[in-house]
Amino acid sequence: MAAVRDLTQSGCARINREIGLGSFPGIVCRSVGSRLLHATTGKFPLNFTYPLVKWFDGPNDGLVSQPSFPWGDDFVWVEPTGNRGISHADMIDLDRENIPGFDVREFYVGMVADLKRRGL
């Protein structure tokens, strides 16, 4: 239960205060979040936790809510283009599933290319 409380909006705010939001000189801290649109489009256990997180904290990826995601120097919010949504498992490519309108591998390649362009 402690891990679940740590991912709530208030839990993440507390951790951010303790750690310091983006306070690491010479290190770029980025965060990424996405949104699942319906519990039925996520796989277990995210299809189970999605409505609970939505009830308490709003739009979420089946595990973490939108207000809990931002951390560091840069926050990217990934909005789904279809009716499916993008779950936490999709963002870490857990199921190796192609999602219409979103290529998770290319998304991270783009993030790395951006860091390279910025000389980081």
Let me know how many helices (H) and strands (E) the chain has, helices first. Answer: 5, 2
What are the φ/ψ torsions at residue 34 (nearest 5 degrees)? -145, 175
CA distance 8 to 3: 9
pTM of the complete model beyond 0.85: no
**Three-class secondary structure of residue 74 per DSSP:** strand
- pLDDT at residue 119, as a whole number: 81
Give me the tens of pLDDT residue by residue for the chain, a chain 120 residues long.
666 667 677 877 787 788 776 566 777 888 899 999 999 888 889 999 999 999 988 999 999 889 888 877 788 999 878 888 999 999 999 989 888 889 999 999 999 999 899 887
Largest CA distance in the chain: 42
Domain boundaries, the chain: 22-118
